[in-house]
Amino acid sequence: MSDNARNRLLLALSIVMAAIYLFPLYWMYVTALKSGSEMFATPPTFWPSSAQWRTFAYVWESRNMGRYLWNSTVIAFGAVALIAILGTGCAYVLARYRNIWVDIGLFLILMFQVLPASLMITPIFVGFSQLGLLEYPRLAVILAITAKSMPFFVVLVRATFMAVPMELEEAALVDGNSRIGAFFNIVLPLARNGILVSAILIFMQAFGEFVYSKSMIQDIQLQPASVGLNSFMGPNTSEWNNIMAYATMYVTPILAIFVLLQRRIVSGLTSGALK
Amino acid sequence: MKRVFSSITDGRGFDLVLVGVPFTFLLALSGLPLLYNILMSFQEVDMFSLGSVIRPFVGFKNYVDLFTQPETMSILRNTIVFVVGSITGQFLVGFALALFFWINFPGASWLRGLFLVSWVMPGLVVGAIWNWILSGDFGVLNFLLQQTGLMSGNIFWRSDPNFSLWAVILANIWLGTSFNMILLATGLAAIPADLYEAAEMDGANAWQRFWTITLPMMRSTIGAIIALGLIFTLQQFDLFAAITDGGPNNSSNVAQYWAWDLSFRQYDFGKGATISVIMTVFVMFAATVYVRSTRHEVRG
Say if the Cβ atoms of A117 and B129 lie within 8 Å.
no
Say if the Cβ atoms of B122 and A250 lie within 8 Å.
yes
Residues 6+ apart with CB under 8 A from A27: B129, B132, B133, B140
Q: What is the pLDDT of residues A179-233, one digit of tens each?
A: 888 888 888 998 888 899 899 989 999 999 999 999 999 999 999 999 999 999 8
Q: Pick from B59, B26, B206, B91: which is nearest to A110 by CA?
A: B26
For B24-50, b/e burial (b = at least 16 CB within 10 A) is ebbeebbbebbebbeebbbbbbeeebe
Cβ distance A3 to B97 under 8 Å? no
The Cα of B248 is separated from the nearest Cα of chain A by a number of Å equal to: 11
Residue A87 has a CB neighbour count (10 Å cut-off) of 30
CA distance readout (Å), A218 to A188, A206, A240:
40, 18, 25
- pLDDT given at position A275: 45
**Residue B242's pLDDT band (cuts 50, 70, 90):** very high
Comparing CB atoms, the residue among A11, A28, A210 nearest residue B107 is: A11
Q: Tell me which amino acid residue A274 is.
A: L
**Residue B241's pLDDT band (cuts 50, 70, 90):** very high
| Domain with B233 in it | 64-298
Q: Pick from A267, A22, A251, A20: which is nearest to B115 by CA?
A: A22
Judged by average pLDDT, the poorest of B96-100, B215-219, B278-282 is: B215-219
Write the ipTM. Answer: 0.90
**DSSP code per residue over A81-134:** HHHHHHHHHHHHHHHH--SHHHHHHHHHHHHHHHS-HHHHHHHHHHHHHHHTGG
CA atoms within 13 A on the CB side of A138: 19
Give the DSSP letter of residue B237: -
Residue A198 has a CB neighbour count (10 Å cut-off) of 30
**Residue A1's pLDDT band (cuts 50, 70, 90):** low
CB within 8 Å of chain B, chain A residues 45-64: none
Say if the Cβ atoms of B130 and A24 lie within 8 Å.
yes
- pLDDT given at position A274: 53
Give the DSSP letter of residue B30: I
Say if the Cβ atoms of B18 and A92 lie within 8 Å.
yes
Q: Taking 70 as the threshold, does the pLDDT of residue A258 lie above it? A: yes
* Residue B54 included in any domain: no
* Residue B212 included in any domain: yes
Query: From B282, which residue of chain A is nearest by alpha-carbon distance?
Result: A115
Query: Which whole number is the average pLDDT over A78-86?
Result: 96
**Residue A165's pLDDT band (cuts 50, 70, 90):** confident
Strand-pairing partners, residue B57, are B43
pTM equals 0.90
Structural domain tally of chain B?
1
Distance, CA of B172 to CA of B229 (rounded, Å): 11
Q: What is the pLDDT of residues B42-94, one digit of tens each?
A: 988 877 777 777 788 888 888 998 888 888 999 999 999 999 999 999 999 99
* Residue B12 included in any domain: no
* Residue B195 included in any domain: yes
Q: Tell me which amino acid residue B254 is.
A: V
* Residue B27 included in any domain: no
Show me where the domains of chain A are located. Answer: 3-52, 63-274
The Cα of A74 is separated from the nearest Cα of chain B by a number of Å equal to: 16
Instruction: Quote helix, strand, coil % in chain A, to nearest 5.
Output: 80, 0, 20
Distance, CA of A115 to CA of A203 (rounded, Å): 19
Query: Which whole number is the average pLDDT over B198-207?
Result: 86
Residues 6+ apart with CB under 8 A from B35: none
End-to-end Cα spacing for chain A = 39
Query: Which whole number is the average pLDDT over A46-68?
Result: 90
* Residue B23 included in any domain: no
Is domain A63-274 in CATH 3.40.47.10, yes or no? no
B281 touches chain A (CB under 8 A): no
